[in-house]
Structure 1
Amino acid sequence: MNELVKLTPKDFATDQEVRWCPGCGDYAVLKAVQRTMPELGVRPENIVFVSGIGCSSRFPYYMETYGFHTIHGRAPAIATGVKLANPELDVWIITGDGDALSIGGNHTMHVLRRNLDCQILLFNNEIYGLTKGQYSPTSRVGTRSPSTPFGSVDRPVSPSAFALGSGARFVARGIDVNKNLPDVLKAAHSHKGASFVEIFQNCIVYNDDVFAPFTAKEFAADKQLWLKAGEPMLFANGAKGLTLDRESLRVKVVDVVDGEWQSAGVIVHEPANKMIAHMLVDMPFGAFPMALGVIYEHPAPSFEDAVVEQNAQASTGKVPDLQALVSRGQSWEVTKEPHVI
């Protein structure tokens, strides 16, 4: 394909039949990713999608790029190998709340703290959809499922709080059907290092409308806080905002009259402020809106850059000699024909 040819979303769609349950939020995420790809300036042959196990992990089949459908929870390990083998590749990890935070929790933590340059899209539907509706690490207390018919008593994990606690340098949130999702994906891609994006994704069969209290059109204005760097944290069409209570050191909701957000003490979003980021992801929903968009971004050197530099330093002034390497230490050479009995 000629470099001058402008790519379109169709260039990133395969001939494979997309097979999710009718109405699944995964369709919307797939379309958002395919719409975003042409704007990133990366050729399909330089992109790799790596997934684990789950409904979302079918993703590589539907992207006209390189891809690996790996094993449960281990996508970060495979992606790390891909990036170290060829740091020029654009690596995306597709995972779900069960895949990434249960069996894959350890791998997710380490790829974040190492800061591998990749984009991690975690589809959070608060349920195990592929294995017929068992409760997942993000399922809420009281969730009824085939594995918890009387209601789950587990306390759920917050994916974004987990990412922050693991040392992630970029944490964002999006919604499967929201028009802002491509902007979040582009911001994640432009970040150098591990970008963690939690996507609220509806499972129409086993956990339908679990996010409706803030995703439904009639609630969106009052219950969604879309964050933008350098802009005040306003929602409810600018009638409300977040301020920092100096005494309790907690965020609280304030009313904004006639657009005078400064006099109301509304906070201006600074993505590098990790203390505020922790508060934003931990806000109890109901009393507070859902924080969305880029919540935290504070770039740091990436893992693969450090490995490449270390290898270069270790090999400086040395001449490659495979024979000398294999002959070193306890080794011997057979010089005569073996005696046959």
Structure 2
Amino acid sequence: MSIETALTVLKPTDFASDQDVRWCPGCGDYSILAQMKKVLPTLGVPREKTVFISGIGCSSRFPYYMNTYGVHSIHGRAPAVATGLKCVRPDLQVWVITGDGDGLSIGGNHLMHAIRRNLDINIVLFNNRIYGLTKGQYSPTSPLGQKTKSTPMGAIDNPLHPLSIAIGCEATFVARSIDTNINHLGEVLKRAAEHPGASFVEVYQNCNVFNDGAWDYAKDRDTKMDTTLELQHGKPLIFGKLREKGIRLNGMNPEVVELGKGITEDDLLFHDERSPEPSLAYLLSRMRYEDGFPEPIGVFRSVDAPRYDVLINGQIDEAIQKRGKGDLEALFNSGDTWTVE
């Protein structure tokens, strides 16, 4: 236990750095930053044991605004940097802050392998469906037909779905929240931090300058009860202003049904975030508003699995026990050597 933890009860303001926050007024990033600062004091982890690592993008300014250790790395490589840090310093709580461009374009390969290895890091992906820092080009999550500065006639790439990718990589913790749903967002971040393994959180985040209103259907008071569905472990998938609608399976396909008229809660699909089989979690990640479904928010999956950081350090300890600590100088001068004159 650190001196700070032993003597001081930390507050959200203790996690705020002295740097001016330089996001556009009204940006959804402010909300995510605020909820992160509220959650961290509840975790009991001292600031010197907390590290934020980012790549490049608006979201990647995050480490500057946290009064913790931080690494502003290079485009898309934050998961790789986090992997190295967590393996050599397993005592640290490591957060990766990324965006839909940084994490899913140039960083897609690094993100995928960090997730499949299940090392104990927390990945938060801000999804605003646009490149904001580079002024409005379409991103890997931009929907088909979206007109941007780089797609003036409309995007023709099929968009990536972050949670589907994470679940396809056997992620052990997968969740989604919304920047303006502050209580829900705080709860999701807390659960992600407490999960022993790789946690992946997608946050629907509004870029009010270059893609304003991308998630209005999921945020507007008049529509969100019909367009989103809050997942609760062990509970049926029910939604709607009057909780009058639900999701059931028709064969392998989900369908929206109305309760009553012979349909009861028992006919609906029940959420099981702890199922070792990821198929239903993947099915939920594919539900889209544009296809007539509510989009789930909350924890899709939370299971235990072997952790890369634990296993690799176990192998190192085993090797040291068998062969000793070793001698780097001796290693460099062993085997086939030659002299350059």
- TM-score higher than 0.5: yes
Q: Quote the residue 1:325 is aligned against.
A: 331
Q: Quote the residue 2:195 is aligned against.
A: 191
Change (3 A) 1:210 1:332: closer
**Separation in structure 2 between the aligned mates of residue 327 and residue 33 of structure 1, nearest angstrom:** 49
Q: Quote the residue 1:224 is aligned against.
A: 228
1:54–1:96 contact (8 Å) kept in structure 2 = yes
**Separation in structure 2 between the aligned mates of residue 285 and residue 75 of structure 1, nearest angstrom:** 31
Q: Quote the residue 1:172 is aligned against.
A: 175
Q: SS of the counterpart of 1:67?
A: strand
2:5–2:44 contact (8 Å) kept in structure 1 = no
1:163-208 CA distance string (max 9 Å, x none): 1112211111000110200111111111111101010000000100
Aligned length: 330
User: Displacement, 1:214?
Assistant: 1.7
1:239-270 CA distance string (max 9 Å, x none): 1111122xx31121222249x8434x122210
Q: Quote the residue 2:49 is aligned against.
A: 46
Normalised to the residue count of structure 1, the TM-score between the two structures is: 0.92
1:59-112 CA distance string (max 9 Å, x none): 000011100000000000100111011001000000000000000010011101
**Separation in structure 2 between the aligned mates of residue 321 and residue 186 of structure 1, nearest angstrom:** 41
**Separation in structure 2 between the aligned mates of residue 192 and residue 204 of structure 1, nearest angstrom:** 35
Q: Quote the residue 1:159 is aligned against.
A: 162
Q: SS of the counterpart of 2:98?
A: strand
1:241–1:261 contact (8 Å) kept in structure 2 = no
Of residues 317-326 and 154-163 in structure 1, the stretch that sits farther from structure 2 once superposed is 317-326
Instruction: Give the root-mean-square deviation of aligned CA atoms.
Output: 1.8
**Separation in structure 2 between the aligned mates of residue 227 and residue 74 of structure 1, nearest angstrom:** 31
**Separation in structure 2 between the aligned mates of residue 266 and residue 332 of structure 1, nearest angstrom:** 71
Give the gaps of 5 or more residues in structure 1: 334-341
1:275-331 CA distance string (max 9 Å, x none): 211111111314110110001122201110010111111111333352543442245
Structure 2 residue identity aligned to 1:304: D
Q: SS of the counterpart of 1:277?
A: helix
Q: Quote the residue 1:336 is aligned against.
A: none
Q: Quote the residue 1:314 is aligned against.
A: 319
Structure 1 residue identity aligned to 2:57: G
Q: Quote the residue 1:203 is aligned against.
A: 207
User: Displacement, 1:332?
Assistant: 8.3
Q: Quote the residue 1:140 is aligned against.
A: 143
Of residues 278-287 and 168-177 in structure 1, the stretch that sits farther from structure 2 once superposed is 278-287
Task: Kindly name which structure, 1 or 2, has the bigger radius of gyration based on alpha carbons.
Answer: 1
Q: Quote the residue 1:290 is aligned against.
A: 295
Within-5 A mapping of 1:1-341? 1-178=4-181, 179-236=183-240, 237-245=242-250, 248-257=251-260, 261-263=264-266, 265-273=267-275, 274-286=278-290, 287-322=292-327, 323-330=329-336
Q: SS of the counterpart of 1:242?
A: strand
Normalised to the residue count of structure 2, the TM-score between the two structures is: 0.92
Structure 2 residue identity aligned to 1:69: H
1:232–1:261 contact (8 Å) kept in structure 2 = no
Structure 1 residue identity aligned to 2:202: E
**Separation in structure 2 between the aligned mates of residue 318 and residue 16 of structure 1, nearest angstrom:** 48
**Separation in structure 2 between the aligned mates of residue 54 and residue 327 of structure 1, nearest angstrom:** 44
Structure 2 residue identity aligned to 1:230: G
1:225–1:289 contact (8 Å) kept in structure 2 = yes
